[in-house]
Amino acid sequence: MERIRHFEDYLEGEARHTLGRTITEADIVFHAGHSGDFFPHHMDAEWCRGQPFGQRIAHGTMTFAIGIGLTATEINPAAMTYGYERLRFPKPVFAGDTIRTTVTIGRKSDDPKRPGHGQVVEICETKNQRGETVMYCEHILLVARKEA
Ranges of beta strands (E only) in 75-116 are: 79-88, 98-110
Whether the pLDDT of residue 148 is over 70: the answer is no
Whether the pLDDT of residue 15 is over 80: the answer is yes
The matching CATH number, chosen from 3.10.129.10, 3.30.43.10, 3.40.190.10, 3.50.50.60, for 7-144 is: 3.10.129.10
The whole-number pLDDT of residue 32 equals 97
pTM of the model: 0.93
The whole-number pLDDT of residue 74 equals 85
State the amino acid at position 32 in one-letter form. A
Instruction: Give the model's confidence band at 63: pLDDT under 50 very low, under 70 low, under 90 confident, else very high.
Output: very high
Percent helix, strand and coil across the chain, each rounded to 5? 20, 35, 40
Strand partners, 89: none
Whether the pLDDT of residue 2 is over 80: the answer is no
Output the CA–CA distances (angstroms, integers) from residue 38 to 88, 90, 92, in the order listed: 21, 21, 17
How do residues 106-139 score in pLDDT, each as one tens digit? 999 999 999 999 999 999 999 999 999 999 999 9
The whole-number pLDDT of residue 3 equals 87
Domain segments of the chain: what residues?
Answer: 7-144
The whole-number pLDDT of residue 122 equals 98
For residue 129, what is the DSSP state?
T
Burial status of residue 5 (CB atoms within 10 A of its CB: 0-12, 13-18, 19 or more)? middle
